[in-house]
């Protein structure tokens, strides 16, 4: 299969990201781990840690779990310590392309994303949109189309609800069951919030009515951007703790921090 992969090397633009030896090593790793078809998960616009937790609960494979030691900085097989940030980013994007090529040999793939209407990045600049989705939607030699299912697991009650988005987009069936008004209502609320915060915030709002209230109060009562960010961070923490409790996990106990100290970091 690696020869076939190399035949599509240029089409998938792997040469921009990986050497031939790196591509071979990743391919061989996937040959060992991706033995069950239709059990792979991709994601866009949501924290990787949450995706990994969902995938583990459903006995499915993400890029990280499929890569195994190749993406574990503690492993001698991982090349991250020998690469710059840009080089490592290109390496991961190349691995994503090979992951998508392996997924394409099955019949179905699951994508975790934020709820509609902003299911994917409006700019189209995410790894999923620029690399993985293009490969998944490319024509098959057999003439059949890979089915792409989407799950909006951050919406309470819809953690396992999937619907088809390719080749037919059946988002209407999901909206009828879980509603789109709540997601629409939160979109305009975050138009003036920095993209760094809103990226991790919009999808949380349908999860928590408490967050809706606290974030709205923060925006109406706080005039300075710095004060607003502090209140938003507090709201994020509360909503994340609520999400953990809903999913049977215990929130992490946080120690009080000195005034003015940065206490929250963007999820990687």
SS3 per residue for 169-184: CCHHHHHHHHCCHHHH
Beta-strand relationship, 162-166 and 147-151? antiparallel
Model pTM score: 0.67
Q: What pLDDT does 255 receive?
A: 57
Domain borders along the chain are 2-179, 180-268
pLDDT digits (tens, 9 = 90+) for 231-252: 555 655 665 666 566 556 666 6
- Residues of the chain whose pLDDT is less than 70? 1-13, 140-143, 180-268
Q: What pLDDT does 226 receive?
A: 46
What DSSP letter does each residue of 25-52 carry, written as one string? HHHHHHHHH--STT-BEEEESS-HHHHH
Tell me how far apart the alpha carbons of residues 5 and 22 are, in angstroms, rounded to a whole number.
Answer: 13
Residue 254 neighbours by CB under 8 Å, 6+ apart:
237, 263
């Amino acid at each position: 299969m690696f020869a076939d992969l190399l035949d599509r090397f240029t089409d998938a633009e792997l040469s921009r990201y990986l050497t031939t030896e790196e591509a071979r090593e990743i391919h061989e790793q996937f040959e060992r781990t991706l033995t069950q078809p239709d059990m792979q998960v991709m994601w866009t616009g949501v924290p990787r840690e949450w995706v990994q937790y969902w995938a583990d609960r459903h006995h499915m494979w993400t890029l990280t779990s499929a890569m195994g030691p190749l993406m574990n900085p503690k492993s001698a097989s991982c090349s991250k310590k020998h690469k710059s940030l840009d080089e490592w980013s290109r390496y991961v994007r190349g691995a994503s392309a090979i992951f998508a090529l392996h997924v394409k040999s099955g019949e179905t793939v699951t994508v975790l994303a934020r709820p509609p209407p902003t299911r994917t990045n409006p700019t189209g600049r995410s790894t999923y949109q620029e690399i993985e989705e293009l490969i998944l939607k490319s024509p098959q030699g057999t003439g059949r189309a890979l089915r792409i299912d989407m799950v909006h697991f951050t919406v309470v009650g819809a953690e396992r609800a999937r619907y088809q988005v390719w080749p037919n987009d059946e988002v209407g069936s999901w909206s009828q069951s879980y509603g789109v008004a709540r997601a629409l209502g939160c979109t305009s609320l975050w138009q003036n919030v920095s993209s760094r915060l809103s990226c991790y915030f919009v999808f949380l709002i349908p999860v928590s009515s408490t967050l809706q209230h606290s974030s709205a109060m923060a925006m109406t009562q706080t005039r300075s951007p710095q004060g607003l960010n502090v209140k938003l961070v507090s709201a994020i923490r509360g909503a994340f703790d609520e999400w953990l409790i809903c999913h049977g996990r215990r929130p992490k106990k946080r120690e009080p921090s000195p005034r003015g100290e940065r206490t929250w970091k963007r999820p990687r």
